Structures are given as C-alpha cells and as structure tokens.
Amino acid sequence: MKIAFFDAKPYDKASFDKYAEGNNITFKYFETKLNDDTVYLANGFDGVCVFVNDTVNSFVIDKLVEMGVKVVALRCAGFNNVDMKHAFGKIHVVRVPAYSPYAVAEHTMALLLTSVRRIHKAYIRSKEFNFSLNGLTGFDLYGKTVGIIGTGKIGKVFAQICRGFGMKVLAYDKFPSYEIEENDNVKYVTLDEIFRYSDIISLHCPLTDETYHLINENAIEKSKRGVIILNTSRGALVDAEALLNGIKSRKIGAACLDVYEEEADLFFEDNSGHIMEDDTLARLISMPNVIVTSHQAFLTDEALENIASTTINNIVDMLTKGQCENELCFRFGNTEDCKNGKCF
Ligand code: NAD
C-alpha cells in the first residue's frame, strides 16, 4: 500500500516509519501541503495522509478519485478542512479521534499558567540577568471560575486539571455529559452564563457552522472585564479582530492562542526571515498579554505514537477490509458519534 504523506515534518517521519514496518505500507513524504496545486503528487498512490492545514475541498476530492486514490487518512481529530458532503460516496475519510487529550489539555494549562504568572516575561528577563519583579504580579488560579466550552475528551481532562487547582468549573456543551457534574464537580450552564461568570474561558468544541466565531464582539461584550480567553481548539472559533479590539479596550485581560483562523499558510513553518503580512496576527503577538503557540498543543511523544499507530491501523483496515471504526460518516460525525446521536 502506497500512501502520499502531505505536510510532512521530521517528527512525523520517525513515528510513521516505525509503525509502517511490518504493515506493508510505504509512505512517500511531501513537505508541501495538499491543495488544488499539489493534489497531482498523489497520482499512483492508494491513499493520502493529511493534517489540519491541508485542503481537502471538492476539487481535491474529485482529482483524488480520478487518480484512483481510495482513502484520505487524517492524522488528526478535527475534520473541518474536509468537504465531507462532497466526499461521501466517493472516497473514504478516516481520522484519529483521540491521540492524547492530556497533551492538549496540559498545553492549555501551561499557556494559562504562563500568562497569569508572567513566565514568558520572567524567562526573557532572567536570560539577561534582569531579576527585577516589577510588572510580574500575577493572580491565584485557586477559587477562580473557568468556563469550558465543549466537554468532550479534551474539555473533560482540562476540567479535571482545573479542579486540581481548586478552580470552580462551569461548562457548556451542545451534548452535555452529565456524569462529569457528579465526578468532577463541574456545573453545566448556558453559553450566556459562561460569558457572564467566567474569569477564564477555554474552548474545546469543534469548528462547525454553529461554532464559527463563537467568541465575537457580542460574546466579549457579555464577558467579565479582564476575562482570559484560551483557544487550543480551532482558530475560527474566535473572531480575531474582535479579540484584538477587546484587548485594546482592556475588556479582555489576556489571550492564549494555540490556533489562529488564518494559520494555514503560517503555522508549522519558520517565517522569522519574512515580513509578517497578517496585521491582525502581528498586532496580537505584539501585545504583552497575548501568548501564541503554533498549533503545538498535540505535540508530545505519546500523541505522536498514538497518531501514527491509529492512522496506520485505519489505512490497513480501510484498504484491506473495506471498513474502519474511525471512518467519518456522511452525517458529519464519526460512526461512534452517530450511534450516540451526536452527529453535528
Ligand atoms: P470531542 O469530539 O471529544 O469533544 C468535542 C465536544 O464539543 C463534544 O462534547 C461535543 O458535544 C461538543 N460540541 C459539539 N458542538 C458543539 C457546540 N455547538 N457547542 C458546544 N459544544 C459542542 O473532541 P476533542 O478530542 O475533545 O477535541 C476538541 C477540539 O480540539 C477538536 O475539535 C479540535 O478542533 C481541537 N484539537 C486541537 C488540537 C491542537 O493541537 N491544538 C489537537 C487535537 C484537537
């Protein structure tokens, strides 16, 4: 089985080559992303393996089908970059529904702690032997209220971590899992109540038509003065212009972003020698109370191992048995979600 692997990075190759051995799979690694221009590279392959910023639109799907490609293997959980409606009945799409919710939840807490304890500032100061504490005053997380939007695998782990810090946890989910209210002392509330009562808001829901720009001018208006926004989910959950305005007006106390709506052409690459064309991102990064990481939350040894082993199992199942438990279904969820009535 020959698979064209797009947007390949050195850390991908090590784990994928390890699991490919013995599974009769050969990967051809392409550094370029999959899109309208690069889709022709997949000619002669049985499948393509793609990540969060590859484009699997109707044009790409039609070309892949024409060239005899049978499977699109996402090596991530989110699938907002795939035109699922167009793919249905033409090509199989599989994903890795969970590789390490701990990786993403722990990174979210790392960003929050960095922000509230000014670690990003202190690190740079002490490198220059500047041991002054002026301007580094933070606040205790203990007793603060965090509002978690999306209580799936990652949101649940983040709720547990926050409880470990003695924080009050409010949650909103379109499909609540009420057992976490009992086990983890979490309280489900309405979205408006999340905005009204939370000192910190953390996003862990998928990007859908419904959640697009969930954090917008209106939501920011309803939020507490000084609120901290955490986004380690998908960039377009946040209207970046509205976020910037909220920071300028001092309504938002801080923002920690691992994802950005326009990240596709920037993140995962070294742009340090280039002029930054995206004024909104440049302005956000220039703010002392904004921390940006480049879609790094998933990047742990454990997650990379799980991504590689699950993706290879998915490809083998799909190409040899014609079915796979991680195949995405036409109703925009995975088969497991469909069984649970959780299609979105
Ligand atoms: P999940 O499917 O387990 O959980 C998502 C939750 O969101 C579910 O409980 C679902 O009911 C809820 N939801 C769906 N629609 C909603 C809506 N309109 N409003 C509120 N809640 C809604 O997914 P997960 O594994 O916890 O991942 C969450 C998100 O994290 C993914 O969608 C992905 O975008 C992102 N992610 C980011 C990284 C990273 O490296 N930064 C890595 C993995 C996943």
Instruction: Decide: 196 and 225 in contact? Cβ < 8 Å.
Output: no
Q: Are 308 and 193 part of one and the same domain?
A: no
297 lines ligand 1 (CB under 6 A): yes
Let me know if residue 31 belongs to a domain. Answer: yes
Let me know if residue 344 belongs to a domain. Answer: no
Q: Are 196 and 138 part of one and the same domain?
A: yes
Of 221, 263, 302, 325, catalytic: 263
Q: Which two tokens stand for residue 80?
A: 């907002």
Q: Are 108 and 118 part of one and the same domain?
A: yes
Instruction: Decide: 266 and 53 in contact? Cβ < 8 Å.
Output: no
Active site residue 107: no
Closest ligand 1 atom to the C-alpha of 299?
Answer: 40
Q: Are 152 and 33 part of one and the same domain?
A: no
Residue 341 has a pLDDT of: 41
Q: Which two tokens stand for residue 46?
A: 């049985």
Instruction: Decide: 157 and 102 in contact? Cβ < 8 Å.
Output: yes
Q: Of all protein residues, whose CA lies closest to atom 30 belonging to ligand 1?
A: 233
Q: Which residues contact 127 (CB under 8 A, 6 or more apart)?
A: none
Let me know if residue 105 belongs to a domain. Answer: yes
Q: Are 62 and 157 part of one and the same domain?
A: no
Write the DSSP symbol of residue 56: B
CA angle 129–135–137, rounded 5-degree value = 110
Minimal CA–CA distance to 255: which of 217, 220, 227, 224?
227
Residue 185 has a pLDDT of: 83
Give residue for tokens 């742990």: 300
User: What distance lies between CA 181 and its chain's CA centroid?
Assistant: 25
Using only C-alpha atoms, what is the Rg of the chain?
21
Residue 330 has a pLDDT of: 54
Residue 306 has a pLDDT of: 95
Q: Are 189 and 325 part of one and the same domain?
A: no
**What is the Cα–Cα distance from 93 to 6, expressed in whole angstroms?**
15
Q: Are 158 and 246 part of one and the same domain?
A: yes
Active site residue 31: no
77 lines ligand 1 (CB under 6 A): yes
**What is the Cα–Cα distance from 100 to 199, expressed in whole angstroms?**
26
Let me know if residue 132 belongs to a domain. Answer: yes
Domain span at 212: 101-292
Active site residue 295: yes
Residue 56 has a pLDDT of: 97
**What is the Cα–Cα distance from 148 to 80, expressed in whole angstroms?**
21
In our burial notation (b when 16+ CB lie closer than 10 A, e otherwise), range 262-286 reads ebbebbbeeeeeeeeebeebebbee
Among 84, 204, 230, the mutation site with the greatest number of ligand 1 atoms within 8 A of its Cβ is 204
Q: Which residues contact 167 (CB under 8 A, 6 or more apart)?
A: 141, 142, 143, 144, 145, 146, 200
Instruction: Decide: 133 and 154 in contact? Cβ < 8 Å.
Output: no
Q: Are 92 and 45 part of one and the same domain?
A: yes
Q: Which two tokens stand for residue 247?
A: 């920071």
Let me know if residue 14 belongs to a domain. Answer: yes
CA of 261 to the centre of ligand 1 (A): 16
DSSP secondary structure string for all residues of 328-342: BPTTSSBHHHHHTT-
Ramachandran quadrant class, 322 (left: phi over 0; alpha: psi -120 to 50; beta: rest): left
Per-residue pLDDT of the chain (344 residues; tens, 9 = 90+): 999 999 999 999 999 999 998 888 999 999 999 999 999 999 999 999 999 999 999 999 999 999 999 999 999 988 999 999 999 889 999 999 989 999 999 999 999 999 999 999 999 999 999 999 999 999 999 999 999 999 999 999 999 999 999 999 999 999 999 888 877 689 999 999 999 999 999 999 999 999 999 999 999 999 999 999 999 999 999 999 999 999 999 999 999 999 999 888 888 889 999 999 999 999 999 999 999 999 999 999 999 999 999 999 999 999 999 889 999 975 444 545 544 444 43
Domain termination site, one of 292, 310, 330: 292
What separation, in Å, do the N-terminal and C-terminal C-alpha atoms of the chain show?
32
Q: Are 153 and 176 part of one and the same domain?
A: yes
E strands present in 158-262: 168-172, 186-188, 200-203, 227-231, 252-257
CATH number of the CATH domain containing 88: 3.40.50.720
Global pTM value: 0.90
Q: Which two tokens stand for residue 332?
A: 């925009």
In terms of DSSP H, where are the helices of 31-139? 58-66, 84-87, 101-116, 119-127
What's the structural domain count of the chain?
A: 2
Max Cα–Cα distance, the chain, nearest Å: 64
Residue 268 has a pLDDT of: 84
